[in-house]
C-alpha cells in the first residue's frame, strides 16, 4: 500500500515537471526578447566593419604601399646606366628635357669642352647636371661627363687618410720628445714639430668639400634660337627608367661606400 502511494506521488511530480518545462520554454515575454536582441547588436555592428576592413581598407593600403614615389628630377639618370662607345661627332646628337625650370635643349661641344644648352628660363646647375647625365646615358658617351660626387668622395677619403697619417706622425714625435732628456734635443725637436704642424693638415675644412673639377655648361640662348637642322638627332624621353626603389637602393649603397 505504501509503495503504491509512493509511485502515484512520483508520477504526479514528473507530470508537473514536464508541464513546467514546456511552458517555460515557450512563453517568453517582450522584455526577455528585447534584451536578447539588444545583446546581438554588438555582433551585428562588428560584422560590417570587419567586411569593410578586410575587403576594402586592407587592399587599398596594400596598393598605396606598392605604388612607387616619383624620383626627384635632380636624381634621375644615374651614371650606373651610362655606357661609353668612344669618341664621335657630338654635334649631331641633341637631347630635349623638361626640367622643373622649363624645357632645355642640350648637346656637347667638343671645341669648348662643355655642354651647350638652349632654355627660355634660368636653369639651376643641378638640373643641368641631370640633363647632361641624360645625354651621356642615351648616347653612350660616359667619358665626357665629369662625376663631381665621385671625385669629391675620392678627395675627402684622401684627405682623411692624410689626416690620420699626420696624427700618427705627431704622436710618434711626442713619444720621441718624452724619451729624449737632452734640453737641446728637446728644443730642436719642438721647433721641428712646430714647423711641421703649421704645414700639416689635422681636420677637414669647408674649402676641402669643393670638387676641383666640374662640368661646363654654355648658355647659347633661347629655345626658339636653337636651329639644329633636319639631319640632327633629337631625343626626348619623359622620365628616367630607374624605379624609386632601385634609386633608394643605389643611394644607400653609395652612402656605405
Ordered by start, the domain boundaries in the chain are 31-64, 73-141+215-256, 150-208
- The answer to whether 215 and 115 are in contact (CB under 8 A) is yes
- The answer to whether 117 and 123 are in contact (CB under 8 A) is yes
CA distances from 171 to 1, 165, 166, 178 (A): 123, 10, 9, 11
Classify residue 132 as exposed, middle or buried by CB count within 10 Å of its CB (0-12, 13-18, 19+): buried
The neighbour count for residue 235, using CB atoms within 10 Å, is: 13
149 pLDDT higher than 70: yes
The pTM is what? 0.56
127 pLDDT higher than 90: yes
Closest CA to 216 of 90, 81, 111: 111
Supply 171's cell numbers: 704622436
- Percent of the chain having pLDDT more than 70? 65
Residue with cell 638627332: 233
Question: What band does 65 get if pLDDT is binned at 50, 70 and 90?
Answer: confident
Which residues are bridge partners to 234 per DSSP?
Answer: 94
Q: What per-residue confidence (pLDDT) applies to 21? A: 52
Supply 59's cell numbers: 587592399
Supply 69's cell numbers: 614615389
Q: What per-residue confidence (pLDDT) applies to 14? A: 55
CA distances from 226 to 8, 107, 120 (A): 121, 11, 11
| Tally: H helices and E strands in the chain | 7, 5
Closest CA to 79 of 131, 144, 147: 147
Range 171-177 average pLDDT? 74
Q: What per-residue confidence (pLDDT) applies to 195? A: 46
Supply 28's cell numbers: 517568453
Give the Cα-Cα-Cα angle 64, 68, 73 (nearest 5 degrees): 140
- The answer to whether 186 and 152 are in contact (CB under 8 A) is no
Amino acid at each position: 500500500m505504501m509503495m503504491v502511494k509512493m509511485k502515484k506521488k512520483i508520477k504526479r511530480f514528473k507530470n508537473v515537471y514536464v508541464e513546467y518545462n514546456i511552458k517555460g520554454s515557450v512563453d517568453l515575454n517582450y522584455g526577455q526578447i528585447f534584451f536578447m536582441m539588444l545583446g546581438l547588436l554588438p555582433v551585428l555592428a562588428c560584422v560590417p566593419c570587419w567586411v569593410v576592413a578586410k575587403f576594402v581598407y586592407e587592399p587599398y593600403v596594400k596598393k598605396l604601399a606598392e605604388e612607387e614615389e616619383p624620383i626627384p628630377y635632380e636624381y634621375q639618370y644615374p651614371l650606373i646606366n651610362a655606357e661609353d662607345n668612344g669618341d664621335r661627332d657630338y654635334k649631331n646628337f641633341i637631347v630635349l628635357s623638361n626640367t622643373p625650370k622649363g624645357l632645355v635643349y642640350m648637346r656637347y661641344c667638343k671645341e669648348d669642352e662643355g655642354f651647350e644648352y638652349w632654355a627660355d628660363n634660368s636653369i639651376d646647375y643641378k638640373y643641368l647636371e641631370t640633363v647632361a647625365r641624360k645625354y651621356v646615358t642615351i648616347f653612350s658617351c660616359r667619358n665626357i661627363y665629369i662625376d663631381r660626387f665621385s671625385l669629391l668622395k675620392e678627395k675627402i677619403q684622401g684627405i682623411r687618410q692624410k689626416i690620420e697619417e699626420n696624427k700618427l706622425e705627431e704622436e710618434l714625435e711626442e713619444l720621441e720628445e718624452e724619451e729624449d732628456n737632452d734640453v737641446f734635443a728637446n728644443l730642436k725637436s719642438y721647433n721641428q714639430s712646430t714647423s711641421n704642424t703649421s704645414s700639416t693638415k689635422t681636420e677637414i675644412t669647408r674649402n676641402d668639400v669643393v670638387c676641383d673639377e666640374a662640368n661646363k655648361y654654355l648658355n647659347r640662348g633661347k629655345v626658339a634660337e636653337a636651329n639644329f637642322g633636319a639631319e640632327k638627332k633629337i631625343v626626348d624621353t619623359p622620365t628616367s627608367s630607374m624605379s624609386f626603389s632601385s634609386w633608394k637602393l643605389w643611394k644607400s649603397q653609395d652612402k656605405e661606400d
